[in-house]
């Protein structure tokens, strides 16, 4: 009998995070939310401090041939801003650690920082520090700090049985955009989808409005995929969820292009990541308020599901009426 | 005439940081210190928040064959703790972004987190969040947050003409330890030097005491090397400095081993990085207080130089009495 050592790929990304949470268990009186939410939340005087970090690695998260340094700079900040949006916080300032190859052109670096500054200005945040290093591949790690009112912030763990499940914008565009970027046969790439992948827009205003008006009970940003991120909410909230497939909001470009890459028109919208839309739950009493907020911000918000008891777990109602319990939930880095 | 595009290696690490500081210029009322110090410092209610970030990349900052995952976890946190020490702050909590190869053994990861936890316990800090990703090489980025009293914190820019220049501990051990680790001829490696490289101890208590007693006027940790870090202090403070080579504190193991790797016995102590000692300036009136603090903490503190007018820049008084203006200052990642 051969005993093989366990490797990272056997455990998977979410398995690893669960282990880390277990190993490093933390109890400190100023900690409001630790590992297991979009950002860490710490009490600081009368306010809550929100802290999030995200790493982008060349040839894992992006390829130099697909993107340009300006968009890369914008996206590096946007993915962190989205974590603050998902709690309804106000982003404030950030630090960036950057690993760069020795032979990288100076114009690449200068354009990267121009993109970073563009996103920083747009969302009112400032670069206050960082670290630089040599590296074979480009590595970008941002640590973004935001603020919020203690009682208003939205976490993954607030969903209640009977709540509605909503999502902003449309889903699957970024994942389909990635397929388009990777498709060497395709000369002229559909711009809308590609831009959703390369230039995601964090839903900062929407997040703050949902938190400020106390409309939502739980919230997350859709970075791993609709099914995977719904799973994060229901696991943290100890509830179940039912999603109606035919309600999932799909864009025009998605509908036109999805058949080129998938027989099932919903698969990519269900499990593709990086849309950076907001997924949230709210009491049915809030429905009119939420729809009116959607109109006033001109952001589509769609009622895609409902929260059910924990023992029912996650159910997907297919277009043909069949109910399934999806097994594979989006993307796992290590599998 | 051929016009060649500028590359990162032409600008160098400190050139790049100066450019970034220029591009991203920040003025916000709550920012006490931004880019260009050991940590960023932001006002938060009555306190100051200190935020620092450091990246470690496999085969740039460490090799798996030299170190073990436990020491690597400890060091990843220690280098960040040292930045908080250099301002006299109290470290509080941290986030870690980690890039890991798919085939990495689970025991490696578990030992790494054990080392991280060991250092976290020793210095009273907690892991509150992070990010995980697949990566070809191991990448570790920590963002550490600390606190301090606004009026007490020490920055790089407070040195005054006539101040004394002090350094804690001994210098050059970590850089010599690295040479020993890289030396394939050497079977039995001198443990003291190797440990100084693999397991640096941040000078948290000393930093807090120097800040709390208001003994020092400027402070930095020696991460780039004595000459390079003195240069950081004098550039930020707009002063010059004179260092007496024969006063540089050298350890017994350093004295025994330095001739194997360098004809000049001071070169490695002057320009080798990663000692994580504290380098600080203080008014001559503070001398007795500083020496008494050194005794009570059982940490050697050595008076190695003095602050002189800016126009005199950096001078090194060699052992033979010759005065030189050193050109090359420690390690530049991109050169």
Q: What pLDDT digit, counting tens, does each position of A165-209 carry?
A: 999 999 999 999 999 999 999 989 999 999 999 999 999 999 999
Query: Which residue among B88, B115, B149 closes a domain?
Result: B149
Per the prediction, chain A carries an average pLDDT of 94
Query: Do B108 and B246 lie in a common domain?
Result: no
For A77-121, write each residue's pLDDT tens digit. Answer: 999 999 999 999 999 999 999 999 999 999 999 999 999 999 999
Length of chain A in terms of residues written:
335
List all residues 6 or more positions away from A296 whose beta carbon is below 8 Å from its beta carbon: none
CB B139 within 8 A of CB A53: no
Q: A139, A273, A331: which to substitute to probe chain B, counting the most B Cβ within 10 Å?
A: A139
At A327, the pLDDT band (50, 70, 90 cuts) reads low
Yes or no, beta carbons of B6 and A106 under 8 Å apart: yes
Q: Is residue A214 part of a domain?
A: yes
Q: Are residues B170 and B319 in the same domain?
A: yes
Answer yes or no: do B87 and B188 share one domain: no
Q: Does B26 touch chain A (CB under 8 A)?
A: yes
CA distances from A148 to A32, A84, A151 (A): 12, 9, 9
- Are residues B168 and B317 both part of a single domain? yes
Residue B2 forms part of a structural domain: no
Contact A56, A75 (CB under 8 A): yes
Q: B60–A135: do the CB atoms touch at under 8 Å?
A: yes
Contact A106 B8 (CB under 8 A): yes
**Rounded Cα distance, A297 and A281, in Å:** 19
Per-residue model confidence (pLDDT) at position A332: 56
The answer to whether position B158 is within a domain reads no
Domain end marker among A99, A125, A149: A149
Residue B257 buriedness (CB in 10 A; 0-12 / 13-18 / 19+):
buried
In a domain, A248, yes or no: yes
Do residues A112 and A232 share a domain? no
Q: Which of A149, A179, A214 is the last residue of a domain?
A: A149
Does a structural domain hold residue B157? no
For residue A16, list chain B residues with Cβ-Cβ distance below 8 A. 109, 132
Pairwise CA distance, residues A237 & A284, whole Å: 17
Query: Nearest-CA residue of chain B relative to A126?
Result: B26
Neighbour tally for B202: CB within 10 Å? 25
Best residue in B4, B141, B156 to probe A by mutation, most A CBs within 10 Å? B141
The shortest CB-CB distance from B143 to any of A109, A143, A333 is to: A143
Instruction: Work out how many domains chain B is built from and give that number.
Output: 2
pLDDT of residue A183: 94
Query: What's the pLDDT at A24?
Result: 87
**A3 at B interface, C-beta within 8 A:** no
- For A300, the token pair is 């589509």
For chain A, positions 153-192, list CB contacts with chain B under 8 A: none
Residues in chain B: 335
Interface of B with A in 6-25 (CB under 8 A): 6-11, 13, 16-17, 19-20, 23-24
| Cβ within 8 Å, pair B53-A20 | no
- Verify that B125 and B202 share a domain, yes or no: no
**Given a cut of 60, is residue A1 above it in pLDDT?**
no
Nearest Cα to A250, choosing from A178, A170, A177, A191?
A: A170
Classify residue A223: in a domain, yes or no.
Answer: yes
Rounded mean pLDDT, A20-38: 89
Q: Is residue A79 located within the same domain as residue A170?
A: no
Neighbours of B149 (CB within 10 A): 14
pLDDT at A56 (0 to 100): 97
pTM of the model: 0.94
Same domain, B229 and B275: yes
Query: Is the domain of B223 the same as that of B286?
Result: yes
Rounded percentage of chain A residues whose pLDDT exceeds 90: 84
A47 in B contact zone (CB under 8 Å): yes
Residue B334: per-residue pLDDT: 60
User: Which stretches within chain A are classed as H helix?
Assistant: 8-11, 13-23, 69-85, 106-122, 173-182, 191-198, 204-212, 226-237, 252-261, 267-271, 287-297
- A122 SS3 class: helix
Same domain as A309, residue A193: yes
Mean pLDDT of A216-236: 96
Nearest to B53 among A61, A97, A106 (CB): A97
Are B51 and A145 in contact (CB < 8 Å)? yes
Q: Hey, what are B238's tokens?
A: 């707009």
**Radius of gyration for chain A, computed over Cα atoms and rounded to the nearest angstrom:** 20
In this prediction, residue B9 carries a pLDDT of 87
Grouped pLDDT means (10 residues each) for chain B, 335 residues: 75 88 87 92 92 97 95 98 98 97 94 97 96 96 96 96 98 97 92 96 98 97 95 96 97 97 94 96 98 98 98 92 73 57
Which residue in the set B11, B19, B53 is minimally distant from A95, CB to CB? B53
pLDDT digits (tens, 9 = 90+) for A241-277: 999 999 999 999 999 999 999 999 999 999 999 999 9
User: What is the span of the domain harbouring residue B125?
Assistant: 8-149
- Beta strands, E only, chain B: 31-33, 40-44, 47-57, 90-100, 126-134, 139-149, 164-168, 218-221, 240-244, 278-282, 301-308, 314-317, 323-324
Q: Does B4 touch chain A (CB under 8 A)?
A: no
CATH of the domain at A143: 3.30.1330.10
Residue A157 lies in a domain: no
Largest Cα–Cα separation, chain A: 65
Residues A45 and A178 in one domain: no
- Distance, CA of A13 to CA of A25 (rounded, Å): 18
Which among B49, B116, B143 is the nearest to A53, CB-wise?
B143
Q: Which residue has the higher pLDDT, A278 or A21?
A: A278
Q: Tokens for B194, please give them.
A: 């190797």
Q: How many CB pairs under 8 A join A and B?
A: 243
Instruction: Determine the pLDDT at residue B291.
Output: 97
Q: How far is A333 from chain B (nearest CA, A)?
A: 6
CATH number of the domain that residue A268 is part of: 3.90.650.10
**Domain annotation covers residue A48:** yes
Tell me, what's the pLDDT at B324? 87
Of B322, B301, B308, give the one whose Cα is nearest residue B248: B301
Whether residues A184 and A39 share a domain: the answer is no
| Per-residue confidence (pLDDT) for residue A14, from 0 to 100 | 84
Closest B-chain CA to A114: B23
Contact B131 A34 (CB under 8 A): no
């Amino acid at each position: 009998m051969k005993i093989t050592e366990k490797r990272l790929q056997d455990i998977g990304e979410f398995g690893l995070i669960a282990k880390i949470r277990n190993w490093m268990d933390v109890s400190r009186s100023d900690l409001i939310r630790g590992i297991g939410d979009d950002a860490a939340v710490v009490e600081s005087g009368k306010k809550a401090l929100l802290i999030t970090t995200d790493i982008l690695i060349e040839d894992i998260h992006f390829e130099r041939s697909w993107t340009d340094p300006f968009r890369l700079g914008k996206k590096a900040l946007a993915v962190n801003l989205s974590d603050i949006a998902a709690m309804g916080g106000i982003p404030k300032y950030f630090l960036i650690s950057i690993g760069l190859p020795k032979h990288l052109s100076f114009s690449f670096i200068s354009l990267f920082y121009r993109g970073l500054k563009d996103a920083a200005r747009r969302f009112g945040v400032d670069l206050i520090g960082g670290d630089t290093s040599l590296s074979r591949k480009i590595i970008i790690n941002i640590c973004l700090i935001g603020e919020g009112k203690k009682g208003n912030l939205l976490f993954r763990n607030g969903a209640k049985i009977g709540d509605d499940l909503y999502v902003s914008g449309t889903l699957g565009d970024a994942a389909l955009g990635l397929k388009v970027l990777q498709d060497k046969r395709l000369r002229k790439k559909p711009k809308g989808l590609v831009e959703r992948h390369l230039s995601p827009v964090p839903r900062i205003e929407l997040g703050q409005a949902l938190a400020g008006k106390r409309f939502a009970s739980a919230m997350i940003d859709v970075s791993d995929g609709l099914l995977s991120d719904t799973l994060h909410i229901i696991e943290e909230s100890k509830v179940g969820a039912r999603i109606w497939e035919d309600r999932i909001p799909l864009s025009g470009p998605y509908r036109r292009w999805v058949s080129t890459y998938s027989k099932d028109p919903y698969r990519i919208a269900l499990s593709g990541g990086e849309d950076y839309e907001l997924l949230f739950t709210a009491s049915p009493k809030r429905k009119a308020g939420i729809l009116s907020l959607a109109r006033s911000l001109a952001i589509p918000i769609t009622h895609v599901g409902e929260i059910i008891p924990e023992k029912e777990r996650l159910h997907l109602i297919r277009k043909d009426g069949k109910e399934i319990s999806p097994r594979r939930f989006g993307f796992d880095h290590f599998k």
